[in-house]
Amino acid sequence: MKNSKFLIVISFFAIYVIWGSTYVFNKIAVTELPPFFLACIRFSIAGLLMILLALLTKQNLAISKKQFLNSSIAAFFFLVYGNGVFVWALKYVDSGFGALLASTQPLFVLFLLRLIDRKPLQKKSLIGVALGILGMYLLVSQQELTTSEGSLLGVFMILTCVLSWSYGSVFVSKAVLPKSHLVSTGYQMLCAGVILAIASLLFKEQWVSPLSWSKNVQVSMFILIIFGGIIAFTAFNFLLKNIATEKVATSAYVNPVIALFMGWFFLDETLTAQSIIASVILLTGVYFITSRKRK
C-alpha cells in the first residue's frame, strides 16, 4: 500500500513538473535545431524505445490496417501538427506564454464536441468558456508581448496546434487503436517520426549531428525523450488506471504554471502582472470545464 501511494505521488510529480518543463526544453532546443528535425528525432527515438519496452514486457505488437491508419491520423493531429508546428511557433513566443495558450485545449474540445456530437453545454462549461475567452484575450492583448517580430504569427499558429490536438483527442476517443497504450503510442510516435522527417526534408531543414549540438540542447533532448516522453507518459497511464480521471486532468492547469515560472527563472522570459492575472482567469476557466459532470 505504501509502495502504491509512493508511485502515485511520483507519477503526479511526473505529469505536473516534467510535462510542465517540456515547454522550456523545447524552447532551448528550437533555438539551435530546426523544429521538424527536432520533433522527428524526439519522436522516432521515443517510439523505438516504447516498442522495445512493449517487447520486453511481452505485449502484443500486432496491428491491423485500420489500427495503423488510425494511428497515423492520430500521429498527425497530435505529434506532427499539434507538437511539431507548436515547437516551430516557440521560436517566436515565450515558452510559458505558449504553455498558457495550450491550456485552452479543454475549451476547444468542448466546442468541437458541440459541433460534431451536438452535445449541449452545461452551466459550469459556459462559465469556463467565458473565463477562458476572457483570460485568453488578456493574455494575447499585451502590447509588450505582441510587438516583437513574428509573435502574432506564433500565437495564431499555436492556437491552430491546440485545435489540431483537440480534434485528435475527439478522434482518438472514437477510433479503433491497439489496446495497449504503450504499443499504440509507440506506433503513433514512429508514424510521426517518418512524417516529420519528410516535412523536414521538404522544408530543406539542415540535419545536424547530435555530436555537434551544444551541451544544453543535448541535455534538453535527453529530457524530452526519456522524461517528457517515456517516464511521464507511463506515469500518465498508471494514474488513469488507479486515480479518478478528473484528478489526472488537473495537469491541464498545473503544467502552464510550471512552464510560466520555469521560463521566467531559467530563460528570463517576461512575466507581467497582466500575464499572472490572465493565467489565473484562464486556468479557473479550465477548472470549470474539466470539473463539470460527465453526462
Q: Where are the domains of the chain?
A: 2-290
User: How much is the pLDDT for 145?
Assistant: 61
In the predicted model, residues of the chain with pLDDT beneath 50 are: none
User: How much is the pLDDT for 159?
Assistant: 93
H-only helix segments in 120-242: 123-140, 143-146, 151-174, 181-202, 215-222, 232-242
Residues 29, 175 contacting (CB under 8 angstroms): no
Torsion of CA 247, 189, 22, 53, to 10 degrees: 70
- What is the C-alpha separation between 220 and 143, in angstroms, rounded? 30
Q: Write the pLDDT tens digit of every residue in 156-177.
A: 999 999 999 888 888 888 889 8
User: How much is the pLDDT for 236?
Assistant: 83
H-only helix segments in the chain: 2-13, 19-30, 35-56, 65-75, 86-89, 95-102, 105-117, 123-140, 143-146, 151-174, 181-202, 215-222, 232-242, 245-248, 251-267, 273-290
Q: Write the pLDDT tens digit of every residue in 240-289.
A: 778 876 677 778 778 888 898 899 999 998 888 888 898 889 888 888 87
pTM here is 0.85
